[in-house]
């Protein structure tokens, strides 16, 4: 069995998608459609920067999605590889879940871009800049990270945001609590904590205003039926029902990204090959979780050509 997986925020970089757009009309069409949907030249920011603009949450989220969908379209149109034929399920890390849903037809490309733009704006607006923070805990498993978060909270919010793999967990909450967690990390048997360069404390209860905004957005743009099952971040379980997925996307804004458990669930279900499209971020995480699985990450035309030959 094969899973197609999609990266989340942090995988953006200036120049992303530029070579693919030069090489393929299918990729150019994706970037043009996203530009039109957002009424902005996001593709120019992706290609030329400045990096500060690309890193803005409201730009980074649709940009990462657009790059991954462009990669998928090239695979499908240039190399004749159908996701529905060659995949058994899909998953994505945080915003990557929206990319996965776009890939299997739950949202149109234009709607996905608009939803992610709104999601980025709402997440940024939920907490004033400087009030929240996130930190990566290196050498931490979920038990150690949970205990540390509880110890550091001290009446503030400090919660596990991302359970990425057996060696890395991300926490999120009030800046003071996150700073305390970094100071206490070694006492909890954790190698170290590193403050992340993010503009808001994603995937914690401070994001409730953004969750409310997404719930309202889905009133007008609900997910439709999709062609392959999606493994949802907040349950680490397979979803096939569009209404259920809609509720899970709202919960995802404040909920933990259970990536390690999602990969374990896919592996338990029989997935032996994970294909990351549009990045080389979640693939390495998979390698640390499902050590016997084959992992392929595809970004360039050369990557896609090799992948097409591999999966035929």
Contact 116, 95 (CB under 8 A): yes
Q: Is 203 part of the annotated catalytic residue set?
A: yes
* CB burial readout 82-114, b (16+ within 10 A) else e: ebeebbbbbbbbbbbbbbbbbbbebbebebbbb
Return the closest-CA partner of residue 111 out of 209, 208, 222. 222
Return the closest-CA partner of residue 28 out of 62, 91, 71, 57. 71
Return the closest-CA partner of residue 38 out of 67, 9, 11, 58. 58
Contact 177, 82 (CB under 8 A): no
C-alpha distances in angstroms, 306 versus 19, 75, 312?
17, 10, 10
Q: From the candidates 43, 94, 199, 297, give the one annotated as an active-site residue.
A: 94
Pairing of strands 132-138, 168-174: antiparallel
Tokens of 206: 């401070």
Q: What are phi and psi of 259, to 5 degrees?
A: -70, -45
Q: From the candidates 93, 174, 188, 203, give the one annotated as an active-site residue.
A: 203
Q: Is 262 part of the annotated catalytic residue set?
A: no
Q: What is the DSSP string of 88-121?
A: SEEEESTTHHHHHHHHTTSS-HHHHHHHHHHHHH
Task: Provide the annotated active-site residues.
Answer: 94, 203
């Amino acid at each position: 069995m094969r899973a197609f997986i999609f990266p989340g925020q942090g995988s953006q970089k200036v120049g992303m998608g530029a070579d693919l757009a030069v090489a393929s009309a299918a990729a150019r069409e994706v970037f043009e459609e996203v530009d039109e949907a957002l009424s902005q030249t996001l593709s120019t920011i992706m290609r030329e920067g400045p990096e500060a603009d690309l890193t803005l949450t409201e730009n980074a989220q649709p940009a990462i999605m657009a790059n991954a969908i462009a990669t998928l379209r090239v695979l499908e149109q240039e190399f004749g590889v159908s996701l529905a034929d060659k995949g058994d399920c899909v998953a994505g890390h945080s915003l990557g879940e929206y990319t996965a849903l776009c890939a299997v037809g739950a949202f149109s490309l234009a709607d996905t871009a608009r939803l992610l733009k709104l999601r980025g704006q709402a997440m940024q607006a939920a907490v004033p800049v400087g009030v929240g923070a996130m930190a990566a805990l290196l050498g931490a498993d979920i038990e150690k990270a949970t205990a540390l978060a509880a110890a550091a909270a001290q009446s503030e919010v400090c919660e596990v945001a991302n359970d990425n793999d057996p060696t890395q967990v991300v926490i999120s909450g009030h800046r003071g609590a996150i700073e305390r967690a970094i100071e206490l990390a070694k006492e909890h048997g954790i190698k170290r904590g590193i403050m992340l360069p993010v503009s808001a404390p994603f995937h914690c209860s401070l994001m409730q205003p953004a969750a409310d905004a997404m719930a309202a957005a889905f009133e007008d743009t609900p997910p439709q039926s999709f062609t392959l099952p999606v493994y949802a971040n907040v349950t680490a379980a397979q979803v096939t029902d569009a209404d259920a997925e809609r509720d899970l996307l709202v919960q995802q804004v404040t909920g933990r990204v259970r990536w390690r458990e999602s990969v374990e669930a896919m592996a338990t279900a029989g997935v032996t090959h994970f294909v990351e499209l549009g990045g080389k971020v979640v693939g390495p995480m998979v390698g640390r979780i499902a050590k016997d699985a084959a992992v392929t990450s595809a970004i360039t035309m050369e990557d896609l050509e090799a992948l097409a030959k591999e999966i035929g």
